[in-house]
Amino acid sequence: MILLFALMFPLASAFVLLAFRNADAAARAALAAGAVEVLLLATCAWKLRVAGVLEQGRYLRADGLTLFFLINLALIFAVVLVYSTGYLRHVPGGRFSSPRWFYALLFLFLFTMLAAYLSSNLGVLWIAIEATTLASALLVGFYNTEGAVEAGWKYLIMCTVGIAFALFGTIALYLAAVRGGVPAARALDWTALMAASPGLSAARDLLKLAFVFVIVGYGTKIGFVPMHSWLPDAHAEAPAPISAMLSAVLLNCAMYALLRMEAITSHAIGSSFSHTLLLAFGCLSLLAAVFLMIVQRDLKRLLAYSSIEHMGIVALGVGIGGPLGLFGALLHAFNHSLAKTLLFFTTGKVRDTFGTLRIDRIRGMARVLPYTSIVLILGGVALAGLPPFGLFVSEFAILTSAFSGSHYLLAVFMLIAFSIGFGALFYHLQRMLSGEPQAPRGGLKILASETGAICVCGFGLLVLGLHVPPVFQSMVNNAMAVLK
Amino acid sequence: MTKALDVFQFLVLIGVAPLLRGVVARFKACIQNRRGANVFRPYFDLWKLFRKEDLIPPTASLLFRLCPVILWAATLAASAFVPVLHTTALLGNHGDIILLVYLLALGRFFLVLGAMDGGSSFGGMGASREALVSTLAEAPLLLGLIAVAIVSRGSSIGAIVQWTADRHLFELSPAHAFACVALILVTIAETGRVPVDNPATHLELTMIHEAMVLEYSGPSLALIEWASGIKLNLMLSLLVALFVPWGMTAGVSFSALAIAAGVWVLKMALLAMALAALESSMAKLRMYLVPQYLGMATALSILAVVFTAFKR
Amino acid sequence: MGLIEFAAAKTLASSAVFLFITVLLIAAAKRINACIVLFAIQCAVITAQIVALAFLHRSVEAFAVAAVVLIVKVVAIPYALLRISRQLKVTPAVVVSTTPGQSVFIVAALILLAFAVVQPYARAFALDSEMLAAATAIVLTGGFLMVSRKKALMQVIGLLVLENGIFLAALTTTFGMPFVIEMGIFFDLLVCVLLMGIFIFRIRETFEHVDVSRLRRLRG
């Protein structure tokens, strides 16, 4: 029952929130609804830890992997919600741009992602992922400027086309399952598909075809190169909390769908094919992203390309395989979401003070915004994969798995790419921080909510970097067990 | 007995040609809310032209006088290959679709020559336009017919008609559908109807066929007009015979022939109505768009030929 | 029942040809409204196919799916598109980067490519190669339309044609997926079209035109 409540509550709140025309009332109502939702998700998580697997009806199911990603979603959503209540002071109003629409669409977005995580059926998963595109498109175009509308249109079109390819892959999987003897009504269920590996392995070619289409389709949403061109635009033009949601949670959601598909494929025909494809896409994304980061001129686009880089690393982790590789990949997805959220939150303050996010127009931030600069530097350190933050641990795990799996060339390549990424990031940060301040505007005061949100993310990163708590470790291990 | 029937078919094709033009013009008038002329008016026109004097331009040579005759003779010969009521035609065993296409091309070639021989600038203009259209239309015409021939495993029209008549509509392959559309497009181009050429116009900007025959008068003009009518009748009957031949008979019993005649009249009436509706609803294409139009026909006919490899 | 089954079998057999013809006509069309009507005709052909399959397999679910396809794809979505087209008051011409003649050639080539690609799979899995090739051809044509047409509304139509092709592929290979999934897919599609409509209006308000090839602010 709890699954159904946790799923339906955001949908209901989205509609209810539309009624609050007053910005403050909307903010308070949104915070209240958010608190209730986080509580519901925490209850789900607790029950999951106890029971291992929760099922509800035919289409809702939660297992270890779901638990991991649900914790991710709940944490980031809570932080983003708290941050947005303060952030929305800056947003100009408009027909679809009032706070009540923001909160309503945010909760709708949450609903679609929850539907993706809680689905037991790959068909429902597809529908939910497509719905996430639809729910977030209006959020991407929230500011209604030229750039925002163009970014929203590109996002909508490219992701819908990509997801259509994923639909084709899902259909091919369905066909393989039906041919392999699974009854038609259950041929897209996760449990049925995992159990039907011998039957599926008879349809090798069809399964390979299905996986290719699915990785291209969901890879469009993850941001694999060369299907990535919507990502920098969408993440740059969206409001900062929405950029954080997109970078941190939506990419993880699409990766979750890909992981489910990969598990089914590996179970049936062995992992060499799917891992090769994942390695290819991961390498390509990593390489292209770090090189493109060098030539970026806008801070948020820089962060968006960094997201592509880190999703490439996650793909590499899964592709290398083995217990350490998968552990590193999952941990990396979690850490990256914390770090990216942190950085996107600081961009809000930066834009407020300097009026722009163009790197060449921001100078002397260290003098004008000392605290923000410290947070930005720490965030940059975290994103580049340096200790003591969590991304170091996960990248180290992936590198170790590469070495132990004799992928020496790959490991060297990753190290080189990490260095280039680090270099690009700090080159741009240094340009922004040093020098004479260029006529900044005095911004609005930082609210306690914004500071609190940033601190939570930073704290999480630190904890995961210094010592991964055993509770967390066992959660990741359970997630990995689901995928085996 | 079949021979007499085939001669009768041949005479029908030739004799009904002016009537077909009159019917199409009458349908057009109805659609355009006019009274329209008598459907037998083309016969009166031919009669009038045959009794008039033949005026020859001073710069013209013997070719000018011969060309209408050659055109008329070639079109007559071509119409001897097309089955109307019976599944065979008068000269059906002596040639196949390629001969048919090139008889029509022969007639057209001499028409172009005669137009240029007349010495007027309109003649030259019409001739160059006609050369463009006919060159581009030849490929889809041949390819479409070849596609149908490949599917029916026989290149004589009689064989194709027999093959199609033995099966029913849904057994035809996609190659047939594409070839049909391509051949319809080509028919419109070959017979000079809207949207390729306007048969009712005398404005130089829009003329192709009319420009070529501007210098002709008297019996020569009568022969040319008759030949273009026969060509329309021939092409439409060919379309009917190749793609919807049901109703045609292989035997010679009186009842079967009566049914065949009735069905043929019905099909031609429907085609005439469709042609009239098409002409009334579209504007003529600008000259530089005609190659695009024929390019589409070529694409469809190529598709038809390649589809013959994918028969079910 | 014999007549109905005969009609159903013949509908299935000949619908591939109709789909090819609609695809070629969309490529050659010169006005946006013509494209929308052709899309509706294509969906009507697919609906007829679903009904034929429903008769042949005696499945009530398939009838329901056919009804939903009819309502959503043949009536609702084209109506919405026509309304958007009317309210946008843009010129009805389809602004293209390839002329209609070239488009027909390219689409014909895509149809041949689809046949060539589908042959080995159809043989291996004992499927009807013609329908599968029709589905692939429709997908490729949808992609081509999205790339070569410059107006935002035409991109939406290209996307819808692409989804049509994928749906047809699902239909021919598996006779449809579980009912709930199909309903979800249709609902997604409807919301997608509405959202695209909203975006087109925003593009129009912000940029004063709906030519997506001129949306080039964000690069790099």
With residue A62 as reference, give the H or E element that holds it. Answer: strand A60-62
Judged by CB atoms closer than 8 Å, whether chains meet at C10 and B170 is answered as: yes
Under DSSP, the state recorded for C171 is H
The verdict on a CB contact (< 8 Å) between C162 and A164 is yes
Task: State the Cα–Cα distance between residues A307 and A159, nearest whole angstrom.
Answer: 17
- Asked if C180's CB is within 8 angstroms of A123's CB, the reply is yes
Q: Are C127 and C171 in contact (CB under 8 A)?
A: no
- C-alpha triplet C28, C31, C32: angle, nearest 5°: 105
Tokens of A293: 């980061």
Sequence-distant (6+) residues with CB within 8 A of B293 are: B185, B189, B195, B196, B285, C101
- Tokens read off for A90: 């800056």
Mean pLDDT of B276-290: 85
The string of pLDDT tens digits covering residues A116-138 is: 999 888 889 999 999 999 999 98
Work out the average pLDDT over B237-250. Answer: 84
CB contact under 8 A, A167 and C185: yes
Tokens of C69: 């396809």
Across the interface, whether the CB atoms of C159 and A138 are under 8 A apart is answered no
Q: Check CB contact under 8 Å for C101 and B292.
A: yes
ipTM: 0.87
Q: pLDDT digit string (tens) for B14-25?
A: 999 999 999 999
Does the beta carbon of A137 lie under 8 angstroms from any beta carbon of chain C? yes
Q: Which residues in chain C have their CB less than 8 angstroms from residue B299's CB?
A: 101, 104-105, 108
By Cβ distance, the residue of A124, A171, A187 closest to C169 is A171
The sign of the dihedral angle between the CA atoms of A323, A329, A333, A336 is positive
Asked if C191 and A134 come within 8 Å (Cβ–Cβ), the reply is: yes
Q: How many CB atoms lie within 10 A of CB B281?
A: 10
C123 touches chain B (CB under 8 A): no
Residues of C within 8 A of B302 (CB-CB) are 108
For residues A80 and A456, give the distance between their C-alpha atoms in angstroms, rounded to a whole number. Answer: 11
Picking from B294, B306, B308, B311 by the largest number of C CB atoms within 10 A of its own CB, the best residue to mutate is: B306
Interface probe with C: pick from A112, A124, A132, A153, most Cβ of C within 10 Å: A153
Number of Cα atoms under 13 Å in the Cβ half of residue C148:
20
Alpha-carbon torsion, ordered A106, A110, A111, A113, to 10 deg? 140
Distance, in Å, from the CA atom of A104 to the CA atom of A26, rounded to the nearest integer, reads 9
User: What does each C-alpha distance from B208 to B69, B109, B115, C6, C146 come to in angstroms?
Assistant: 20, 14, 11, 48, 38
Residue C111 at interface with chain B, using a CB cutoff of 8 Å: yes
Q: Which two three-digit tokens encode residue C178?
A: 């579980």
The answer to whether B52 touches B208, Cβ cutoff 8 Å, is no
**Angle subtended at Cα B132 by Cα B126 and Cα B134, rounded to the nearest 5 degrees:** 95
For residue A322, give the H/E element and its range: helix A322-354
Q: Are A300 and A216 in contact (CB under 8 A)?
A: no
* pLDDT of amino acid C115: 85
Q: Give Cα separations from B166 to B160, B177, B243 (angstroms).
A: 10, 17, 12
Q: Contact at 8 Å (CB) between C155 and C128?
A: no
CB C156 within 8 A of CB C193: yes
**Closest Cβ–Cβ partner in A134, A164, A188 for C166:** A164
Give the mean pLDDT of A320-342: 89
Pairing state between β A60-62 and A54-56: antiparallel
Helix or strand (DSSP H, E) at A54 = strand A54-56
Residues B181, C10: C-beta atoms closer than 8 Å:
no
Give the pTM: 0.84
Contact of chains C and A by CB distance (3 or more pairs under 8 angstroms):
yes
Tell me if B299 and C17 make a contact (CB, 8 A cut-off). no
Are B172 and B164 spatial neighbours (Cβ–Cβ below 8 Å)? yes
Decide if B296 and C104 are in contact by the 8 Å CB cutoff.
yes
Residues of C in contact with A297 (CB under 8 A): 220
Residue A208 CB burial class (10 angstroms; 0-12, 13-18, ≥19):
middle
Q: Is chain B touching chain C, with at least 3 CB–CB pairs below 8 Å?
A: yes
Structure-token pair, residue B205: 């900007």
Distance CA B51, CA B48 (A): 5
Instruction: Give me C33's structure tokens.
Output: 């409204």
Are C192 and A205 within 8 A, CB to CB?
Answer: no
Pick the range with the lowest mean pLDDT from A284-288, A321-325, B25-29, C20-24: A321-325
Q: State the amino acid at position B212 in one-letter form.
A: M
Measured between beta carbons, the chain A residues lying within 8 angstroms of C195 are 134, 137-138, 156
Q: Are A100 and A26 in contact (CB under 8 A)?
A: yes
Distance CA A8, CA B200 (A): 70
Chain A residue with CA closest to C168: the answer is A168
**C-alpha to C-alpha distance for A453 and A344, rounded to whole angstroms:** 11
Q: Which residues pair with A298 in a beta bridge?
A: A358
| Token duo for residue A57 | 């009806």
C192 Cα distance to chain centroid: 14
Q: B312 and C20: CB-CB below 8 Å?
A: no
pLDDT band at B85 (very low <50, low <70, confident <90, very high): confident
Q: What is the mean pLDDT of residues A9-34?
A: 85
Q: What is the CA radius of gyration of chain A?
A: 21
How far apart (Å, rounded) are the C-alpha atoms in residues B75 and B300?
27
- Chains B vs A: touching, with 3+ CB pairs under 8 Å? no
- Are residues C177 and A123, on separate chains, in Cβ contact within 8 Å? yes
* Domain ranges for chain C: 2-214
Q: Which of A147-161, A204-218, A263-277, A452-466 has the lowest mean pLDDT?
A: A452-466
Q: Can you give the pLDDT at residue C155?
A: 87
- CB count within 10 Å of CB A298 equals 21
Contact across the interface for C101 and B293, Cβ inside 8 Å: yes
For residue C14, give Cα distances in angstroms to B170, C7, C44, C48, C49: 7, 11, 14, 11, 10
Task: Give the number of residues written for chain A.
Answer: 484
| A341 pLDDT higher than 80 | yes
What is the percent of chain A with per-residue pLDDT over 70, rounded to a whole number? 96
Phi-psi region at C27: left, alpha or beta (left = phi > 0; alpha = psi -120 to 50): alpha
Categorize the per-residue pLDDT at A443 as very low, low, confident or very high, splitting at 50, 70 and 90: low
Banded model confidence at residue A96, pLDDT cuts 50, 70, 90: low
> Does the structure show a pLDDT above 60 at C129?
yes
Angstrom distance (rounded) from CA B158 to CA B163: 9
Residues of C within 8 A of A171 (CB-CB) are 166, 169-170, 173-174, 177
Q: Residue B211: what pLDDT?
A: 82
CA distance B121 to C217: 54
* Digit-coded pLDDT (tens) for A156-208: 999 999 999 999 899 888 888 888 777 877 778 888 888 877 777 777 888 88
How far is A457 from A447, CA to CA, in rounded Å? 16
pLDDT at B82: 86
List, as ranges, residues 40-69 from A with C-beta within 8 Å of C: 59
- A189 has which bridge partners? A121
C-alpha closest to that of A302 among A247, A366, A375: A247
Please check whether residue A144 touches C, CB under 8 A.
yes
pLDDT of A287: 92
- CB within 8 Å: B312 and C130: yes
Quote the CA–CA distance of A39 and A30 in Å, as a whole number.
Answer: 14
Mean pLDDT for the stretch of residues C133-159: 87
Cβ partners under 8 Å of residue C210, min gap 6: C88, C90, C151, C152, C153, C200, C203, C204
| Integer Cα distance of B180 and B243 in angstroms | 7
Any chains having at least 3 CB pairs less than 8 A from chain C are A, B
- Mean pLDDT, chain A, integer: 86
Contacts with C, A 228-257, CB within 8 Å:
232-233, 236-237
Report A:113-132 residues touching C (Cβ under 8 A).
Answer: 121, 123-124, 126-127, 130-131
Q: Name the residue among B101, B137, B294, B128 with its Cα closest to residue B207.
A: B128
Q: Tell me the pLDDT band of C68, cut-offs 50, 70 and 90.
A: confident
Using an 8 Å Cβ cutoff, are B85 and B261 in contact? yes
Closest CA to C32 of C93, C83, C76: C93
Contact A157 C146 (CB under 8 A): yes
Tell whether the model's pLDDT for residue C220 goes beyond 60. Answer: no
3-state helix, strand, coil in chain A (%, to 5): 80, 0, 15
**Residue given tokens 């939660």 in the structure block:** A62
| Beta-carbon separation of C206 and A130 below 8 A | no
Do residues B253 and B2 lie in contact, with contact meaning Cβ atoms separated by under 8 Å? Answer: no
Partners of A358 in beta bridges:
A298
Inter-chain CB proximity C112 and B303 less than 8 Å? yes
Distance (Å) from the alpha carbon of B295 to chain C's nearest alpha carbon: 6
Tokens of A387: 């200790």
| Calpha distance A317→A279 (Å, rounded) | 8
How close A445 gets to chain C, by Cα (Å)?
A: 31
Show Cβ contacts of residue B52 under 8 Å, excluding neighbours closer than 6 positions.
B217, B218, B219
Q: How many residues does chain B have?
A: 312
Greatest mean pLDDT range, A467-471, B142-146, C193-197, C199-203: B142-146
- Counting one residue from chain B and one from chain C, the pairs whose CB atoms sit within 8 A come to 44
How far is Cα C155 from Cα C17, in angstroms, rounded to an integer?
Answer: 25
- Contact assignment for C130 to B178 by CB distance below 8 Å: no
Q: CB–CB of B241/B82 below 8 Å?
A: yes
Query: C-chain residues within 8 Å CB-CB of A147?
Result: 217-218
d(CA C74, nearest CA chain A) in Å: 20
Q: Would you say C114 and C140 are in contact if contact means Cβ atoms under 8 Å apart? A: yes
Q: Which residues of B touch C130 (CB under 8 A)?
A: 174, 310, 312
